Amino acid sequence: MNENKPSHLRIYRVLFLCTGNSARSIIAESLLNHNSDGRFVGYSAGSHPRGEVHPLALELLIINGHDIKNLRSKSWDEFEVADAPSMDFVFTVCDNAANESCPVWPGRPVTAHWGLADPAGVAGTETERREAFEKTYKLLKERIAEFLALPVDSLDSVELRERLGKIGHRGPGTDGK
């Protein structure tokens, strides 16, 4: 965490959801925590967690300087219990989770869908599989950077939803405009 962060700034909690919670949502959680200077805290979960983080996701995070010691595949049920942290934002990062009946999150967080292809589902050579994970990492890094640049303190929930939706529709090779 950044010790120079003014104490009056609010810390926002963000939950990234996917079906298996083994790659995309884990990568997003790690990217947010790595790049937000403590202003945002990222979490991830899955509707049907695989129970382990994909080894290529962990390898990629390590290569890019992320701390992986607390990453684990877990159910979104952990965030429905009374003592779970209340979320300010909930993002789905895969089509399956977006089409499932999601729980009603306490506090009415701002939600958005940032669907991405599942790199864990890529069949092919080791090089092709690694490239799929690298592509996912790059796209999520770009989206999270754009999210972190938003003036979240000054936007109402309608404007936030609109801007977050636009971020989620950015694809590979776009210039973010």
Which residue, among 64, 77, 73, has the nearest Cα to 24 in the 3D structure?
Answer: 73
Choose, from 102, 117, 150, 155, the residue flagged as catalytic.
Answer: 102
Choose, from 14, 18, 27, 112, the residue flagged as catalytic.
Answer: 18
Choose, from 17, 53, 57, 94, the residue flagged as catalytic.
Answer: 94
Contacts of 20 (CB under 8 A, 6+ apart): 46, 48, 49, 50, 73, 118, 120
Are the beta carbons of 168 and 113 closer than 8 angstroms?
yes
96 is an active site residue: no
90 is an active site residue: no
76: DSSP letter? G
5 is an active site residue: no
Burial of 4 (0-12, 13-18, 19+ CB in 10 A): exposed
Tell me the C-alpha to C-alpha distance, in Å, between residue 168 and each of 113, 122, 142, 146, 171: 6, 21, 10, 10, 8
Are the beta carbons of 44 and 28 closer than 8 angstroms?
yes
What's the rounded Cα separation, in Å, for the pair 39 and 29? 13
So which residues are the catalytic ones? Answer: 18, 94, 102
